[in-house]
Amino acid sequence: MFNNSFKIIFMLILMMGTLITVSSNSWLSAWMGLEINLLAFIPLMSDNKLMSTECSIKYFLTQALASTVFLFATTFFILENYYSLSINLIYSKLLILSALLMKMGAAPFHFWFPNVMQGLSWMNSLILMTWQKIAPFLLTSYVLHKPTIIFCAIASAILGAVGGLNQTSLFKLMAYSSINNISWMLMSMLKSEFIWLSYFLFYCFLTFTLVLMFNMFNISHINQLTTFSMKSMTFKFIVFMNLLSLGGLPPFLGFAPKWLVIQSLTMNNQLITVMILIISSLITLFFYLRLCYTSFMLNHSEINWMMNIQYNKFTMNIYLLFSSISIMGLFMISIIYMML
């Protein structure tokens, strides 16, 4: 990722664009930060992968469309504030929400997200799944419209769960998992920004742990997981425990943010929404468990070209440290809570 200087420069500009959007006090400066972020991410997408140029064009066209709609809708707010025009702002609010949901890849505006993920490297995919969602989510919290948010959350939960069932590419599997997690973050944003921030930080940590392993061993398809080159069965066990943690299986750390969202929604009597979110998470856990079943219950011969992969020992130690937190984190949090 950072093998030359221009990628470092564009990475700094990417962060600066997000910080401009987060710290802005007007819609125009927020739009400017989104555009700086977009124009800095496109050169980072252009690496040595075969489909990177095509995916960068898809990403640019989609984000440019969303930015155009966003800028068009914000003009109504500017006209209302400066010229006191009697405009029904609910339509401009819906347009702004649609543009921001398209930027973050939430359903029903998710059509571009899996295809763009398929052509990126793992580190660029990590940026797209985590950092690129900060600015749209924060701007969404300013223009919350409860019926629209609930509809998009339910649509993201269903499409994110069903879309990952027939996937063999880990890029698309992670993309649909991200769409499913967006639904939980949208519902948590309706209740509390603290719950949303907690869920987002947990999601970024778990996603980083998995992407670090996929990038370290250059794994991009499910059949590479079943013929994993590590001789130790324990390491393969750790990999799939991280997958189940991302899916939110209760003994692991990934269940903690989902627990917070379920508790807050239940206290507000939104039982139907909670039921849909839980069922969608069970579907995502199903295709994670399917990966575990094919790897542990079946015998596979090792492929010779997979046996010669070189990896950095420091990166391996970081991965094992993060994996231990992902697997045992909920137990550690429970112990600390009981001590306090």
Categorize the per-residue pLDDT at 48 as very low, low, confident or very high, splitting at 50, 70 and 90: low
The position carrying tokens 């998470």 is 281
Angle at 126 between CA 261 and CA 219, to 5 degrees: 115
Q: Residue 277's pLDDT is what? A: 94
Better-scored residue on pLDDT, 273 or 83: 273
Average pLDDT, the chain: 85
Look at 122-131, 205-214, 317-326 and tell me which has the smallest mean pLDDT: 317-326
Tell me which H or E stretch contains 239: helix 233-247
Better-scored residue on pLDDT, 230 or 186: 186
Q: For the whole model, what pTM was predicted?
A: 0.90
Q: What is the DSSP string of 198-217?
A: HHHHHHHHHHHHHHHHHHHT
- Which CA distances in Å does 231 have to 51, 54, 236? 32, 37, 9
The position carrying tokens 């370290």 is 216
Q: Give residue-wise pLDDT tens across range 97-121.
A: 999 999 999 989 999 999 999 889 8
Q: Residue 307's pLDDT is what? A: 47
Q: Give residue-wise pLDDT tens across range 251-262.
A: 889 999 999 999
Report residue 56 as tokens. 């960068």
Q: Residue 304's pLDDT is what? A: 47
226 burial class (0-12, 13-18, 19+ CB within 10 angstroms)? middle
d(CA 148, CA 186): 10
Look at 165-169, 287-291, 295-299 and tell me which has the smallest mean pLDDT: 295-299
The three-class DSSP label of residue 138 is helix
